[in-house]
Structure 1
Amino acid sequence: MNDTPAPSREQRIWQVVSAIPPGKVVSYGQVAEMAGLGRQARFVGRALGRLPAGHNLPWFRVIRSNGQIAFPQDSEAFRRQVALLAREGIEVVNGRVSMARFRWNP
């Protein structure tokens, strides 16, 4: 008998996000689907927003399905996400990433 508990919804999200390769992005909905959570894109956003300080999960590779960064353009979080994406060669133009070019399709 296996006494290992099933991973929580958050753990399943973290597993998916940790697998996104550098230079690629996914949508919140895509993470939810890949984590077996159906259409719980908003839950994915909330779970990523509650990550503990000091984590190394590449949260910045998760964006809206239309390629838009979810943070307001005048926010520090927006600027940080754009910088982290740019460091991986992902272009952000007017707050958007080309999903056709950069979407991860495992």
Structure 2
Amino acid sequence: MAAERFPSFGLATPPAPRAIGADEAISLLKSGQAKPASLLAYGNGRSYGDSCQNGAGAVVDMRSLNRIRAFNAETGVLEADAGVLLSDIIAHAAPHGFFPAVVPG
């Protein structure tokens, strides 16, 4: 994965950490080559006040894990990958009468 920056809300951009994909993170954990505390999941960088700083470890880029796997239109229960955007969840659920109880902003 190419070196890139992982900006966050408030424009805090720490030095570029080593970036890996979710598949590589799983392999590192299963093989014992990485401890869970050495990995930091990165979504889309929009969380208020959160900053992606893990200079001593690796950042796991979750943006490719962006599928809605299941949705029950009767109960509103939605199962999604870690990289799904809130806007995608709303777009999927709102036509069925569901909207998150709490949203940022």
TM-score by length of 1: 0.25
Q: Which has the higher contact order (CA 8 A, sep 6+)?
A: 1
TM-score by length of 2: 0.25
Higher strand share: 2
